[in-house]
Amino acid sequence: MNKKERLFISIILLLIAGFTTFDLMTDLKEGVAWWHAAVEGGVALVATIGVFFLLRGTFQLQKSLQQEKTLSEKLWKESFQWKENSKRYIEGLSQSIEQQLNEWSLTRSEKEVAFLLIKGLSLKEIAELRSTSEKTTRTQATSIYSKSGVSGRSQLAAFFLEDLLLPQSSELSNSQKVEL
């Protein structure tokens, strides 16, 4: 339920509570039965309680939304800062990958596919992105694996990223490194 709907329902409930209270006062002056007055009082009370819960819910949602916006802004700033701090390293990594792809004698198209494979895109996604058929992309991927001496996309990514992801602790033995 959005804010306008909550406000509209709150106004209706306030009107119901107001008219019922007015009717209750008029009825009490006329001396109606106690059960009639109790029912009308109950209706006014329930309508008022409904307004309270709707307004409370609206304020809680606004508070929650503000907290989420604050968190989102914080995360966006952290992401931006991380990208800025790591830009130099990422550019260096991209250049190193480019150099290795040149050493493998990949064509320009194969280099594009290799970068996209390393990023984790599927063959279908790469084909769509490059406006080629999936069969062409599969053939290029096979050629990349053959020229690089790896068996597939996982080994291709690992070739470039493996050393970046290992802990820098000298306490790890060689057998522990293999298990990672």
CATH number at residue 139: 1.10.10.10
Residues 153 and 82 in one domain: no
Residues 37 and 66 in one domain: yes
- CA–CA–CA angle 19, 25, 31 (5° rounding): 130
Residues 34 and 76 in one domain: yes
Which of residues 86, 118, 135 is at a domain's end?
A: 86
Residues 71 and 6 in one domain: yes
Q: What is the reported pTM? A: 0.49
pLDDT at 176: 53
pLDDT at 6: 84
pLDDT at 121: 95
**Does residue 74 fall inside a structural domain?**
yes
Tell me the backbone φ, ψ of residue 32, rounded to 5 degrees: -75, 170
Amino acid letter for position 87: K
pLDDT at 100: 93
Instruction: Give residues with Cβ within 8 angstroms of 144, minimum separation 6.
Output: 104, 106, 110, 113, 114, 117, 156
Residues 1 and 68 in one domain: yes
Q: What is the pLDDT of residues 11-34, one digit of tens each?
A: 999 999 999 999 889 888 888 888
Q: What is the pLDDT of residues 95-105, one digit of tens each?
A: 889 999 999 99
Residues 78 and 116 in one domain: no
Residues 81 and 111 in one domain: no
Longest dimension (CA), the chain: 101
Q: What is the pLDDT of residues 121-140, one digit of tens each?
A: 999 999 999 999 999 999 99
pLDDT at 173: 53
**Does residue 49 fall inside a structural domain?**
yes
> Whole domain around residue 37: which residue ranges?
1-86
**Does residue 95 fall inside a structural domain?**
no
Instruction: Give residues with Cβ within 8 angstroms of 98, minimum separation 6.
Output: 111
Q: What is the pLDDT of residues 59-108, one digit of tens each?
A: 898 899 999 999 999 999 999 998 888 888 888 888 889 999 999 999 99
Residues 108 and 69 in one domain: no
Three-class SS string for 148-162?
A: HCCCCHHHHHHHHHH
The domain tally of the chain equals: 2
